Amino acid sequence: MRAAWEHFPHGADVGIRGMGPTKEAAFEQAALALTGAVTDPAAVRPEVAVQVACEAPAADVLLVDWLNALVYEMATRRLVFGAFTVAIDGGRLHATAWGETIDQVRHEPAVEIKGATYTALRVEERDDGSWLAQCVVDV
C-alpha cells in the first residue's frame, strides 16, 4: 500500500485521514492532511526543520498530541509544514517537520486550525497490514 492522505466531511470542521504501510507513515500522512486543510502541502518549501516529541499511553491519543504539537508550532512560529518524518517507539513519538514561514499570498491559507479533537479518532492496523490514522480538526 502506498501512503496517502485525504479529508472527510464533518460539519463545520475538517476530518483528516492518513493511510500508509506503517503506523509512522499513517501519522506522516495525517500531518500532510492537516497541512492540506490550510494550503497545498506540495507548495511548502522545506526551509526550516522543527523537532517534535510527544508521549501518550495509546496510539490514538498520540495522534491527537502529534497533530496538536504541529498546530502549536504552526501558530507560534507562523510556519506551514509540507514534509514529515515520524518515528514511534511504544508510546513515544519523535519527528521532524519541514516547512517555511507562511506567505499569505503564495499559500492562500483556507482556514486556521485551532486543534485536533477526539471526534472520529481512530488509529488502527487494517486487515491488509496497512495503517489508518484519523480525527477531526477544529477550524
User: How many CA atoms lie less than 13 Å away from 52 in the CB half-sphere?
Assistant: 30
Residue 1 has pLDDT above 80, yes or no: no
In the structure, what pLDDT confidence band is assigned to residue 2 with cuts at 50, 70 and 90? confident
- Cα(64)–Cα(115) distance, integer angstroms: 9
Q: Are 18 and 132 in contact (CB under 8 A)?
A: yes
Local structure of 106: helix, strand or coil: helix
| 11-31 pLDDT tens trace | 889 999 999 999 999 999 999
Structure confidence at residue 9 (pLDDT) = 83
Structure confidence at residue 116 (pLDDT) = 97
In this predicted model, which residue has the larger pLDDT, 2 or 30? 30
CATH number for position 64: 3.55.10.10
Question: Structural domain tally of the chain?
Answer: 1
Structure confidence at residue 73 (pLDDT) = 97
Range of the domain at 118: 4-138
pTM for this predicted structure? 0.95
| 83-135 pLDDT tens trace | 999 999 999 999 999 999 999 999 999 889 999 999 999 999 999 999 999 99
User: How many CA atoms lie less than 13 Å away from 43 in the CB half-sphere?
Assistant: 14
- Cα(14)–Cα(4) distance, integer angstroms: 17
| 31-78 pLDDT tens trace | 999 999 999 999 999 999 999 999 999 999 999 999 999 999 999 999
For CA atoms 78, 80, 85, 89, give the dihedral sign.
positive
- Tell me how long the chain is: 139
